[in-house]
Amino acid sequence: MTELPPYAHLLKLRSEVRDDGSLLFVMPFHDDVVGRPGYLHGGAIAGLLEFAAYGTLLRAIGEEVTPKPITVTVDYMLGGKDRETFAGAVIERLGRSIANVEAFAWQADRSRPIASARINFLLDRP
């Protein structure tokens, strides 16, 4: 995967490849992601979800294709607390010019997501 952009560095994101081969993004809790005291900012959660979706898609299609987000819908389900947050994504549809990706963010329990996102990407092929 290519070098992460500056916003990912601000969020202090790191990526990991799980045993099953899936890509996981991890965001530690720190001052730059605080919303109200003790909770994550919604924009930081949305950024984490977008990086998970983008990274998962880029691994599947290769770096010669440029994915450009055209719609992003984020659903917030629980307040993100002051702990590490994880995100992973699943490609729902991968066509020649469009990809649909769903991403999920969770903290202590993957079965209790704090947010999800559906992102449609335009695939800019050379």
pTM passes above 0.85: yes
Residue 93's pLDDT is what? 97
Residue 2's pLDDT is what? 56
Residue 126's pLDDT is what? 81
Q: Which domains does the chain have, with CATH numbers?
A: 6-124 (3.10.129.10)
Strands (E), 1-126: 14-17, 23-27, 66-76, 85-94, 98-106, 115-124
Distances (CA, A) of 106 to 66, 94, 100: 27, 25, 20
Residue 84's pLDDT is what? 95
Residue 21's pLDDT is what? 85
Cα–Cα distance between 117 and 30 in angstroms, integer? 22
Which residues of the chain are under the pLDDT cut of 50? 1
